[in-house]
Amino acid sequence: MNPHLQQLKPYPFARLREAMQGITPPDNLHEIPLYIGEPKHPTPAIIKNALIQSLDELSKYPLTAGLPELRQACANWLKRRYDGLTLNPDTEILPVLGSREALFSFVQVILNQQENPIIISPNPFYQIYEGATFLAGGQIVFANTIAPRFLPDWDSVSPDDWARCRLVFVCSPDNPTGSVLQREDWQKLFDLQDKYGFVIASDECYSEIYFDGKKPLGCLQAAAECGRGLDKIVMFTSLSKRSNVPGLRSGFVAGDAKLLKEFLLYRTYHGSAMSLPVQRASIAAWNDEQHVADNRAQYQAKFEHVLPILRQKFDVNLPDASFYIWLRIPDGDDLKFTQELYRATAVQVLPGRFFARDTPNGNPGQGFVRIALVDELDKCVEAAKRMVAWYSI
């Protein structure tokens, strides 16, 4: 067996299930699950129709590089979304089976175990970053996010660790805090990249859930604005959150053509070609913005209704983007809060400590819970009302 499998830690949702063993909510209350970031809005008809109309193409083998029409649709979307950003669809864009799969496999391409490599990750973080690092034979070093902006503290990483770093994960908009890197934040990371030569892997799957027209700045757009090329920069995105199709497993990576060439070679052997009906549905999704605007409006409405209720008892703000509330617990015990909340109200949230690791500077997730406003508006409002009625400061 691969010895690195023993390094893998239980997923946050598995830890939550274990923590909730033996806890029974009131019989008269229906459960409201706000612990998992699974979109529950209906899948747009334009996507379902494209999928159904192309089912006959299941009889064909797809190419790992994807259809030229899909890569072009992705390139067109990037150009519209990021102020004229122009990428070559043949060399700088590669369809993938959702960002999770791609983030994991990309690490296997980048790391050379013989170099005793380090990957630097924000903390709290998406657990795929850690698992991918371990299974590629690397070591992970965490940069804790710091209030009030909840951005990674790159200054906490030692020069020796930076020197061994081969890849830095960035998540903007961030999961779980909803923070977004601004141009000056990207410039600081680019300066570190110039000094140490690492690859930047930018996870941007929440980029289309923003508020009041404040579009998050993407990594490739930031590089262009800072006068840089795409050398050693790759962004990851998907349709799961943008288009309410987490089960479609569709996204793309874009950036450095040299890295994507090697990534394509790996994926050819890895067996990760996207089926043709899924590609057709993806083309329809990337070419349409109306359903995305409608989706975004629904999330904004949830925050507009939920935040005023929660503010009756909690110090809570609108995130920069994403559909998460990163709620600070006044007494600091996020695990006890989660358990007692469920026991009393049947509302399920996720303890922040499950998203983070202990470091010499503490566990930055401790004292917070993540609330995913993914359910219907009335259920999110009901959950907030139950929380406020139950909690006493």
Region 29-50: what's the mean pLDDT?
Answer: 96
Q: Tell me how crowded residue 335 is: count the other CB atoms within 10 A of its CB.
A: 17
Residues 253 and 102 sit within 8 Å (Cβ to Cβ): yes
Architecture of domain 59-288: 3-Layer(aba) Sandwich (3.40)
d(CA 91, CA 315): 47
Confidence band, pLDDT 50/70/90 cuts, at residue 39: very high
Left if phi > 0, otherwise alpha if psi is -120 to 50, otherwise beta: which for 42? beta
Which are the contacts of 368, defined by CB distance < 8 A and separation ≥ 6?
176, 326, 327, 328, 329, 334, 352
The residue written with tokens 């529950």 in the block is 40
Task: Please give the CATH superfamily to which domain 3-42+291-390 belongs.
Answer: Aspartate Aminotransferase, domain 1 (3.90.1150.10)
| 202-237 pLDDT tens trace | 999 999 999 999 999 999 999 999 999 999 999 999
What mean pLDDT, rounded, does the chain reach? 96
Q: What is the mean pLDDT of residues 249-267?
A: 98
- Residue 210 is given by DSSP the state B
Cross-strand pairs, 142? 121
Task: Give pLDDT, residue 331.
Answer: 86
Residue-level length of the chain: 393
Task: For residue range 350-379, list pLDDT tens digits in order.
Answer: 999 999 999 998 999 999 999 999 999 999
pLDDT digits (tens, 9 = 90+) for 93-138: 999 999 999 999 999 999 998 899 999 999 999 999 999 999 999 9
Domains in the chain: boundaries? 3-42+291-390, 59-288
pTM of the model: 0.96
**What is the average pLDDT across 236-243?**
97
Q: Identify the pLDDT of residue 393.
A: 57
Residue 156 has pLDDT above 70, yes or no: yes
Joined together, the tokens standing for residue 271 give: 């067996």
Contact predicate 167/139, CB 8 Å: no
Closest listed residue to residue 177, CA positions, set 200, 142, 144: 144
Q: Using DSSP bridges, classify how beta strands 368-372 and 93-96 pair: parallel, antiparallel or unpaired.
A: unpaired
